[in-house]
Amino acid sequence: MKRLLPMLIVTGILIAADQAPDESAKFNGTWLLVRAEQNGITMPKDVLGHSTLTINGNKHTVHLGEDTYEGTHRFNPTQEPKAYDTTITTGTFKGDKQYGIYKLDGEELTICIAGTGYPRPKEFKAPDGSNDTLTIWKRQSK
């Protein structure tokens, strides 16, 4: 029993260390899409300014044009660049996981996310052939 207790404590510490902090609550509120580019193509202006991202804890809803997507996410500040992981929970792409990066500059949130099945981007760019999407959001409300 004396040997089991330290082993359980060490195991608990290792498990806790493996779980990176999530700063999702910091982003709670509604964000307006002000710029977007996917695979080298700039999103049309009629979509910009009319699309929103609403974050509540680790859940979000995206209204993009006439489409709505829901999902869960995790903002991980311990990686460089900071990591953003999401899973789509509704619609045609339900269950798809995507990996990205993010940065927050005042009231502007930048997310660059890879297409499903592609590796996490290393830069905030979405050039042709990358299968990445770069979005810039302005906070509208908390």
Whether the model pTM is above 0.75? yes
User: For 118-125, what is the mean pLDDT?
Assistant: 96
- Mean pLDDT over the full length of the chain: 85
User: For 49-58, what is the mean pLDDT?
Assistant: 93
Question: Could you please report the per-residue DSSP string of 16-77?
Answer: HHHS----GGGG-EEEEEEEEEETTEEPPTTTTTS-EEEEETTEEEEEETTEEEEEEEEEET
Q: pLDDT (tens digit, 9 = 90+) per residue, 72-88?
A: 999 999 999 999 999 99
Q: pLDDT (tens digit, 9 = 90+) per residue, 122-132?
A: 999 999 999 99
The per-residue pLDDT for 67 is 87
pLDDT of residue 110 exceeding 60: yes
Question: Which range is least confidently modeled, 28-37, 43-52, 100-109?
Answer: 43-52
CATH code for the structural domain at 21-141: 2.40.128.20
